[in-house]
Amino acid sequence: MKLNYIIKGKGSPVLLLHPVGSAITFLEPLADLLSQHYQVMSMDLPGHGQSPRLSIDDSHPMQLDDFAKDVHENLQHAQFTPCAVVGFSFGGMIAQSLAFLYPQDVSFLIPCACPCTLPDASRPISAKRGTDAQKDGMTSVIEATVERWFTPAFRAKKGHLASQEHLLSAHHGGWVHGWHAISNIDQLARLPQIKQPTLCIAGEVDASSPPDTVGLIAKAIPGAQLQIVTGAPHMLFIEQPKEVADLIHAFLKKHSH
């Protein structure tokens, strides 16, 4: 599947992967900051943004490794490897798959605001987020999603409205397949085999993937670090793009010499 992407800036290659239901437009503030130092590719995942749609009647729902394969094939085609892979939420789960399945693609791994596995009790809840949208449309999931994603202060300033409008207007095939894949996430046993220098970033007040959840990735990957962004929610890269960009830049600068 040929995916949509944009490239900004010059320097070492950095790939940004967005959360489920979003698109590269969500990544623009962070991409602008990082592109002052790096060549930054933001990619629309399958079924998201300007990339090809995914059918919601599909009897073969995608798994994380399927999304990773599409990302890998597009990176190869664009000759953008090896690159530092920065993934947020769903994008961070795909980044873990990519580093494991296609290690030659990934120079540095930076999973943010994401789990590597789920408690059994959480799997049906995650799956339901997809099936609810499939059955009743995105309006049925929007309020709970926006509450999970942003801090009350940010919502009070109407900072969430662009994201909310995108979720409501976009085709929901990517959301449906994405939540199916998320509900089956099971990366923990693979992580000790990941060799790339790894930085895990968590938002201090992230209700979806709190620091302990992200910290589990850091504990499992040899030598990985965990950084926590003070006061940041799940969409840490939207609410605090400068803090996130500074952490990524410091990590890459330290490990690139």
| CA dist 19 → 43, 94, 173, 182, 183 (Å) | 11, 10, 14, 11, 14
CA distance 233 to 231: 7
Query: Where is 63: in which H helix or E strand?
Result: none
pTM: 0.98
Closest CA to 87 of 104, 64, 66: 64
Mean pLDDT on 14-36: 98
Sign of the dihedral through C-alpha 223, 229, 233, 238: negative
| CA dist 8 → 32, 46, 79, 84, 236 (Å) | 8, 21, 15, 15, 21
Report, at the CATH architecture level, how domain 5-255 is classified: 3-Layer(aba) Sandwich (3.40)
Q: What is the mean pLDDT of the chain?
A: 97
CA distance 88 to 18: 5
Model pLDDT, residue 176: 96
8 A C-beta contact, residue 147 and residue 156: no
Sign of the dihedral through C-alpha 101, 103, 106, 109: positive
Which residue is listed with tokens 């769903």? 90
Model pLDDT, residue 59: 72
Helix (H, G, I), strand (E, B) or coil at 204: coil
CA distance 215 to 115: 9
Indicate the residue type of 209. Answer: S
How many helices (H) and strands (E) in the chain?
Answer: 11, 7
8 A C-beta contact, residue 97 and residue 188: no
Model pLDDT, residue 58: 67
Which residue is listed with tokens 């979003």? 22
Model pLDDT, residue 185: 98
Question: How does pLDDT run across 198-231, given as a tens digit for each residue?
Answer: 999 999 999 999 999 999 999 999 999 999 999 9
Domain coordinates of the chain in residue numbers? 5-255
DSSP β-bridge partners for residue 106? 83
pLDDT at 61 over 70: yes
pLDDT at 114 over 90: yes
Mean pLDDT on 127-146: 95
| CA dist 192 → 96, 188, 195, 249 (Å) | 11, 8, 8, 25
CA distance 17 to 237: 11
pLDDT confidence band for 68 (50 / 70 / 90): very high
CA distance 241 to 58: 36
